[in-house]
């Protein structure tokens, strides 16, 4: 039984490799930091992402696609006295299941991210003058200590296969984690922030 099982397993691996494709992708993000108890208005910020992926067919129209992706996220915060951008640089590892319908496909799965860099830039309130009016200044500062170093998300998307290995697609990524650093949260009224990203991309798979 053992030699037979090993031969069967080897055959499955060879068959899977024969129907696997390495690819690259790049596109734009519409990124937002959304959540609870946010004192300023949060707006989408246009950023970008790039990555590599490996699509392996499993059965019929079903395939599994692990990826490695760099994604610049964050958002824009506006209020009467502030207007600044938060830029969060992540390295993500999505793992999506894909189902093909002719040239179209749908996909869904989790992704795990690691924060590479965090920065805040713009107009922020730094204090009050003798009359109690807000004092605003331009700031560009490192924000690494303010954010959690990991992020867990769910992503769903769809796309369409073109010719010559090209495809186009879109994906919505919903963060499940509060990305505020827990050490900075002291009460129930402190901000809870989660990543929300809409991605549009072009991909190319090697033959």
pTM: 0.82
CB 30 within 8 A of CB 198: yes
User: What was the pLDDT predicted at 140?
Assistant: 86
Pairing assessment for the beta strands 62-78 and 83-101 based on DSSP bridges: antiparallel
CATH of the domain at 52: 2.40.160.20
User: What was the pLDDT predicted at 11?
Assistant: 47
Smallest Cα–Cα separation from 111: which of 192, 49, 165, 19? 49
Q: What is the pLDDT along the chain (207 residues), one digit of tens a residue?
A: 455 554 444 444 444 444 568 999 999 999 999 876 566 778 899 999 999 999 999 999 999 999 999 999 999 888 777 788 999 999 999 999 999 999 999 999 999 999 999 998 988 776 777 777 777 778 788 999 989 999 999 999 999 999 989 999 999 999 999 998 755 545 445 678 899 999 999 999 987
Q: Is residue 126 part of a domain?
A: no
User: What was the pLDDT predicted at 3?
Assistant: 54
Q: Is residue 124 part of a domain?
A: no
Q: CA 200 → CA 48, 121, 170, 174, distances in Å?
A: 9, 25, 4, 15
User: What was the pLDDT predicted at 104?
Assistant: 98
User: What was the pLDDT predicted at 123?
Assistant: 81
The DSSP bridge partners found for residue 200 are: 28, 170
Spatial neighbors of 111 by CB under 8 A, at least 6 apart, are 67, 69, 92, 93, 94, 95, 152, 153, 154, 155, 173
User: What was the pLDDT predicted at 39?
Assistant: 66
Q: Is residue 14 part of a domain?
A: no
User: How many independent structural domains does the chain possess?
Assistant: 1
Q: Is residue 200 part of a domain?
A: yes
CB 85 within 8 A of CB 118: no
Domain region containing 64: 19-76+86-116+147-205
User: What was the pLDDT predicted at 4?
Assistant: 53
Q: Is residue 157 part of a domain?
A: yes
Q: Is residue 125 part of a domain?
A: no
Q: Is residue 32 part of a domain?
A: yes
Q: Is residue 35 part of a domain?
A: yes
């Amino acid at each position: 039984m053992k030699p037979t099982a090993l031969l069967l397993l080897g055959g499955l691996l060879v068959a899977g490799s024969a129907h696997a494709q390495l690819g690259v992708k790049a596109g734009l993000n519409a990124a937002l930091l959304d959540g609870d108890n946010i004192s300023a208005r949060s707006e989408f910020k246009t950023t970008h992402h790039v990555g590599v992926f490996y699509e392996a067919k499993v059965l019929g129209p079903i395939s599994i696609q692990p990826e490695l992706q760099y994604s610049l996220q964050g958002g824009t915060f506006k209020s009467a006295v502030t207007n600044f951008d938060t830029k969060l640089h992540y390295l993500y590892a999505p793992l999506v299941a894909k189902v093909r319908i002719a040239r179209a496909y749908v996909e869904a799965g989790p992704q795990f991210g690691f924060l590479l860099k965090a920065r805040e830039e713009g107009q922020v309130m730094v204090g009050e003058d003798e009359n109690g009016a807000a004092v605003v200044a331009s700031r560009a500062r490192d924000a690494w200590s303010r954010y959690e170093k990991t992020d867990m998300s769910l992503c769903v998307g769809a796309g369409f296969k073109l010719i010559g290995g090209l495809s186009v697609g879109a994906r919505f990524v919903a963060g499940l984690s509060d990305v505020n650093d827990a050490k900075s949260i002291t009460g129930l009224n402190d901000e809870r922030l989660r990543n929300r990203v809409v991605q549009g991309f072009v991909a190319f798979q090697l033959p």
